[in-house]
């Protein structure tokens, strides 16, 4: 109650009967009993509503009096209505309390007063507004859910689209797990090939199953640790490390740059990139598994004594093998960016000590160049050998194209004693052959450099354990070519060849040998000359080649002499003519591979029967003696001219000079 | 509609029966979900009428929310079903997978042959170049030496 209100008290009379009056004869008169209903009514009437009514009237008066202020507060009416409502409510609450307290008055019935139309309409409006609000909320909820579903569908579409594209090239497996983390449907890529050795599954199982995850954007992603991706490295111990760095840099995979620009425009290209990136990652893992298999097999075979390699060093993912002759190689599985340092103290490959015939100007510079060339050659060769190992392993396991593999199943065990059928054995033989053939090539080049009329032609064999070269000499045309007999025209040889074939470490020299006289008239070059064929070793090769060439020259000169009609005798390296007094005039070849002026030098030797006896008693090796004239290395034209001179001398009478 | 089970009508009757059963289950589930959505939506639409007692309105508001949630749930389960079907179709469609693998195999074999052919061509060209270089070298070296020697 307001403080300003006055407190009024009303006192009830005690509900006892009071004497109303007494008559003279003593009869008491009491007031009549009040009826229950009347009592109730009177009690109700006692509730005084006057104050409320008065207040209303006062307020109305105040309102009328206070209409002068120009701008009433906009909520004033609402405040007054609320206050009135408040008062009415407090009246009602008082009534209810009174009814509660007095059992004399109870509520008979409650009826809502008939609401006024505006009240009914406002009620309806409120309900409608509430309902509308509700619908709006539901609508918002639906929109949100729809958007979320759309995003989820789009994300799934991208994910499955990428997965389908990857499934075109890779094996996808699905595991139906009961407790699947939302977002991980249990897809994996299985990268292991069943063609591999079954025993090697253990090593590669870590990498061979790649789980498919979702990245932050819901797109397909795989987690592959780059350290697991090994690459096979082969090299010569002691080789320069520069090229190793280049090789390891090539193996690093380049991730695409993150593009933070507007997503909607380039989403499809990002998906494309993502698929490509995943594809290349899977390919890296696949290659790493393959490299591991190769290394595994070579590891197992390295312990066998029959491969040709000797195991000299072993570490995790690293094998060092010695081939003999001071050559050491290593095989390692390196992660991208990691190189294995080689073991110190091993000899480098001394394959080529000879001077390279490329330039003859400055020997020192030329040695340095040659060393770097040799090292570079080795390094580029080491890449070749890497590829070669991988190729032969691949053929071994998978076969070539549609052919069956060379061996199948679980076949590579120590029981294979045959060098040729084990991978490492074959590889060691190829490697040693290559080293050996490079030595041979150096020798041949040396010889060809020194002898100007010899040419070297390489004959590629496309076989890893075989090489072949042809040394080729072209002789000047004969003077008498125009007068030759038809039948022997084809027999006039202008070219002589010597073929050097190397299989593994066996050198085979094949050359045209002494001419077959009867074949001269047959017209076929095969029948004209016999073919010499013999084996030799590396140290003797230059001498043998030179001897062969010299004998071919002698043969040619002999043939030319015969063409002219002069009788000559031919020995291995000597062409002799008989003079009248029993003397012989001989043209003798002398071969010396160490001679820098030309390895084949010529001498004229005059011999008679007396001189031969003298030679037996004395060791007269003086080149300036009357019986021997040293001519030195001669070109073929000069030789031919010399022959013509000799022939004319011989045919001119053979007199003294 | 092919649900892409183990070969759709597989060799054994049991497999065919299980496929049919699975198909039936899926259809039932789909129908249930769609009926759910339709019911709830029709309820929501029907409740648009404004009633006099406000109590009823708040009750209806609560029901609306509940039914909206149920609708979304049903839609979600439908979407899951669809993605399940997609997965099955993609990863169990063995016929198409085998065809595709066969195509790729042929393509790769052709590529391998082509590569081999290219390699052998490169080898031949290298051999020819080597021959040419050697002959050039021989002729030039001869001339050099002949100039030196008188």
Neighbours of A78 (CB within 10 A): 10
Mean pLDDT of the region B9-30: 86
Dist CA A25 CA A23 (whole Å): 5
Take residue A427 and report the two structure tokens written for it: 């590889």
Question: Can you tell me the distance from the alpha carbon of A204 to that of A196, in angstroms, rounded to the nearest whole number?
Answer: 10
Say which DSSP state A468 is in.
E
Q: Where are the alpha helices (DSSP H) in A226-338?
A: 242-251, 263-302
Rounded mean pLDDT, A265-272: 75
So what's the pLDDT on residue A84? 94
Task: Read off the pLDDT of each residue in A406-433 and give the average, rounded to a whole number.
Answer: 60
**Using the beta-carbon criterion (under 8 Å), do A131 and B54 form an inter-chain contact?**
no
Three-state SS annotation for chain B: CCCCCCCCCCCCHHHHHHHHHHHHHHHHHHHHHHHHHHHHHHHHHHCCCCCCCHHHHHHHHHHHHHHHHHHHHHHHHHHHHHHHHHHHHHHHCHHHHHHHHHHHHHHHHHHHHHHHHHHHHHHHHHHHHHHHHHHHHHHHHHHHHHHHCC
Instruction: Give the model confidence (pLDDT) of A434-489 as tens digits.
Output: 888 888 999 888 888 888 888 888 988 888 889 999 988 888 887 665 544 444 44
Helix axes A541-564, A423-450, angle to 10 degrees: 50
Q: Which residues contact B79 (CB under 8 A, 6 or more apart)?
A: A149, A152, A153
Contact A452 B126 (CB under 8 A): no
Dist CA A279 CA B144 (whole Å): 57
For the stretch A603-617, pLDDT in tens is 888 877 655 555 555
pLDDT of residue B20: 92
CA A349 to CA A322: how far, in whole Å?
A: 11
CA distance to partner chain B, nearest, from residue A453 (Å): 7
Name the 3-class secondary structure at A507: strand
Residues of A in contact with B97 (CB under 8 A): 167
Instruction: Write out pLDDT tens, residues A106-136.
Output: 667 777 777 788 888 888 888 888 888 889 9
Say whether pLDDT at A515 is over 80. Answer: no
pLDDT, tens digit (0-9, with 9 covering 90-100), for A340-367 = 444 433 333 333 333 333 333 344 454 5
pLDDT of residue A366: 47
Query: Which residues are CB-contacts of A512 (< 8 A; sequence separation ≥ 6)?
Result: A493, A496, A497, A498, A529, A530, A531, A532, A552, A555
Query: Parallel, antiparallel, or unpaired: how do β-strands A318-324 and A310-315 relate?
Result: antiparallel
Under a CB-based contact definition with an 8 Å cutoff, are residues A326 and A348 in contact? yes
The pLDDT assigned to A183 comes to 56
Task: For A590-650, give the DSSP string.
Answer: EE-TT-TT-SEEEEEEEE-HHHHHHHHHS----TTSTTEEEEES--HHHHHHHHHHHHHHH
pLDDT-based confidence at A37, cuts 50/70/90? confident
Phi–psi pair at A73, nearest 5 degrees: -65, 135
Answer whether B57 touches A (CB < 8 Å): yes
Going edge to edge, which strands form the sheet with A584-591?
A568-570, A574-578, A584-591, A600-607, A628-632
- Edge-to-edge, what's the strand order for the sheet holding A318-324? A230-236, A327-335, A318-324, A310-315
Three-class SS state of A276: helix
Q: Does residue B122 have a pLDDT over 90?
A: yes
Q: What tens digit of pLDDT does each residue of B28-78 get?
A: 999 999 999 999 999 988 888 776 666 777 788 888 899 999 999 999 999
Residue B131 has pLDDT above 50, yes or no: yes
**Residue the block writes with tokens 């390692």:** A332
pLDDT score, position A156? 87
Residues shown for chain B:
150
Contacting residues of B for A458, CB less than 8 Å apart: 127, 130-131, 134
Contact between B49 and A128 (Cβ < 8 Å): no
pLDDT at A403: 55
> B3 to chain A nearest CA, in Å?
17
Contact B104, A168 (CB under 8 A): yes
Is residue A622 classed exposed, middle or buried when 0-12, 13-18 and 19+ CB atoms within 10 A define those classes? Answer: exposed
- Token reading at A70: 């120009």
* Residue A209 · residue A188 · CB < 8 Å: yes
Whole-model pTM: value is 0.66
CB distance from A174 to chain B under 8 Å? yes
pLDDT value at residue A177 = 62
The alpha carbon of residue B93 and the mean position of all alpha carbons in its chain are separated, in whole angstroms, by 10
Identify the pLDDT of residue A70: 58
Checking if the pLDDT of A237 tops 70, the result is: yes
Structure tokens at A557: 């000169």
Least confident of A448-457, A470-479, A513-522, B82-91: A513-522
Q: What are A471's strand-pairing partners?
A: A456, A498
Mean pLDDT over A415-443 rounds to: 76
Cα distance between residue A147 and residue B74, in whole Å: 16
What residues of chain A, 41 to 100, have a C-beta less than 8 Å from chain B? none
The answer to whether B92 and B5 are in contact (CB under 8 A) is yes
Contact B64 A130 (CB under 8 A): no
Name the H helices within A481-576: 517-520, 525-528, 541-564
Least confident of A18-32, A201-215, A540-554: A201-215
pLDDT in tens, A293-309: 888 888 888 887 777 78
Determine which helix (DSSP H) or strand (DSSP E) holds A49, and give its type and residue range.
none
Nearest C-alpha of chain A: how many angstroms from B51? 7
Of A332-336, A386-390, B96-100, minimum mean pLDDT range: A332-336
The answer to whether A223 faces chain B, any CB pair under 8 Å, is no
Chain A residues with beta carbon closer than 8 angstroms to that of B58: 130
Q: What is the ipTM of this complex?
A: 0.77
Residues from chain B that touch A172, judged by Cβ atoms under 8 A, are 91
pLDDT of res. A229: 76
d(CA A531, CA A547): 15
CA distances from A177 to A412, A531, B15, B114 (A): 38, 77, 22, 44
Q: Which of A528, A535, A518 minimizes the C-alpha distance to A497? A: A528
pLDDT digits (tens, 9 = 90+) for A177-191: 655 555 566 788 888
Integer Cα distance of A325 and A349 in angstroms: 8
Residue A154, SS3 per DSSP: helix
Q: What is the pLDDT of residue B34?
A: 94
At residue B2, the pLDDT reads: 44
- Closest-approach residue (CA) in chain B for A456: B134
Determine contact: B78 vs chain A, CB below 8 A. Answer: no
B57 contacts A130? CB cut-off 8 A: yes
Scanning B1-40 for CB atoms below 8 A from A yields none
């Amino acid at each position: 109650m307001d403080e300003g209100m006055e407190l009024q008290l009303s006192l009830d009379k005690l509900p006892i009967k009071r004497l109303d009056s007494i008559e003279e004869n003593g009869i008491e008169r009491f007031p009549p009993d009040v009826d229950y209903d009347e009592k109730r009514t009177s009690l109700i009437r006692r509730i005084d509503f006057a104050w409320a009514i008065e207040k209303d009237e006062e307020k109305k008066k105040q309102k009328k009096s206070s209409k002068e202020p120009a701008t009433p507060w906009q909520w004033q009416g609402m405040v007054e209505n609320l206050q009135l409502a408040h008062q009415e409510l407090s009246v009602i609450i008082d009534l209810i309390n009174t009814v509660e307290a007095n059992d004399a008055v109870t509520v008979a019935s409650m009826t809502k007063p008939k609401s006024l139309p505006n009240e009914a309409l406002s009620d309806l409006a409120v309900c409608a507004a509430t309902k509308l609000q509700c619908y709006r909320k539901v609508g918002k909820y639906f929109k949100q859910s729809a958007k979320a579903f759309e995003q989820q569908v789009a994300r799934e579409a991208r994910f499955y689209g990428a997965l389908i594209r990857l499934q075109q090239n890779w094996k996808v497996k699905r595991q139906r797990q009961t407790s699947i983390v939302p977002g991980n449907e249990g897809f994996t890529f299985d990268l292991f090939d069943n063609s591999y050795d079954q025993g090697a599954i253990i090593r590669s199982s870590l990498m061979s199953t790649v789980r498919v995850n979702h990245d932050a954007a819901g797109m397909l992603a795989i987690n592959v640790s780059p350290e697991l991706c090994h690459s096979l490295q082969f090299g010569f111990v002691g080789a320069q490390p520069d090229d190793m760095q280049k090789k390891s840099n090539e193996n690093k995979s380049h991730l695409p740059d993150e593009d933070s620009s507007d997503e909607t425009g380039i989403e499809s290209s990002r998906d494309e990139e993502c698929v490509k990136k995943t594809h290349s990652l899977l390919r890296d893992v696949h290659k790493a598994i393959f490299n591991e298999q190769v290394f595994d097999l070579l590891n197992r075979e390295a312990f066998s004594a029959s491969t040709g390699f000797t195991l000299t060093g072993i570490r995790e993912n690293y094998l060092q093998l010695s081939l003999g002759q001071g050559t050491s190689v290593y095989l390692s599985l390196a992660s991208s960016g990691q190189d294995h340092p080689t073991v110190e103290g091993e000899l480098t490959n001394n394959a080529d000590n000879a001077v390279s015939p490329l330039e003859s100007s400055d020997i020192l510079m030329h040695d340095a160049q040659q060393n770097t060339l040799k090292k570079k050659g080795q390094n580029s060769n080491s890449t070749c050998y890497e590829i070669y190992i991988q190729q032969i392993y691949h053929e071994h396991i998978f076969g070539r194209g549609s052919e069956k593999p060379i061996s199948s199943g679980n076949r590579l065990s120590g029981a294979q004693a045959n060098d040729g059928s084990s991978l490492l054995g074959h590889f060691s033989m190829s490697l040693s052959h290559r080293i050996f053939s490079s030595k041979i090539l150096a020798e041949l080049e040396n010889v060809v450099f020194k002898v100007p009329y010899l040419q070297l032609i390489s004959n590629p064999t496309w076989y890893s354990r075989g090489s072949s070269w042809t040394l080729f000499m072209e002789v000047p045309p004969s003077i008498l070519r125009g007068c030759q007999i038809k039948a022997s025209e084809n027999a006039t040889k202008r070219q002589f060849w010597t073929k050097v074939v190397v299989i593994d470490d066996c050198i085979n020299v094949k050359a045209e040998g002494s001419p077959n006289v009867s074949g001269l008239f047959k017209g076929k070059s095969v029948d004209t000359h016999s073919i010499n064929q013999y084996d030799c070793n590396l140290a003797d090769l230059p001498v043998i080649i030179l001897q062969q060439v010299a004998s071919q020259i002698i043969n040619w000169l002999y043939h030319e002499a015969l063409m002219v009609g002069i009788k000559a005798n031919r020995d291995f390296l000597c062409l002799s003519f008989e003079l009248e007094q029993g003397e012989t005039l001989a043209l003798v070849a002398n071969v010396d591979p160490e001679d820098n002026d030309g390895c084949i030098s010529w001498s004229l030797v005059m011999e008679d029967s007396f001189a031969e006896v003298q030679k037996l008693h004395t060791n007269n090796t003086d080149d300036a003696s009357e019986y021997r004239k040293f001519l030195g290395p001669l070109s073929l034209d000069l030789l031919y001219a010399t022959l013509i001179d000799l022939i004319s001398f011989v045919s001119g009478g053979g007199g003294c000079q | 509609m092919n649900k892409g089970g183990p070969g759709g009508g597989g060799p054994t009757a049991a497999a065919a029966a299980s496929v049919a059963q699975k198909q039936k289950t899926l259809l039932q589930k789909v129908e249930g979900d769609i009926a759910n959505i339709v019911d709830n939506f029709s309820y929501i639409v029907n409740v648009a009428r404004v009633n006099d007692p406000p109590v009823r309105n708040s009750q209806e508001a609560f029901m609306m929310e509940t039914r909206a949630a149920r609708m979304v749930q049903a839609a979600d389960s439908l979407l899951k079903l669809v993605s399940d079907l997609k997965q099955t179709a993609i990863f169990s469609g063995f016929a198409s997978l085998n065809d595709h693998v066969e195509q790729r195999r042929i393509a790769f074999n052709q590529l391998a042959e082509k590569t081999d052919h290219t390699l052998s061509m490169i080898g031949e060209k290298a051999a020819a170049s080597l021959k040419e270089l050697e002959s050039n070298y021989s002729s030039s070296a001869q001339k050099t030496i002949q100039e030196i020697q008188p």
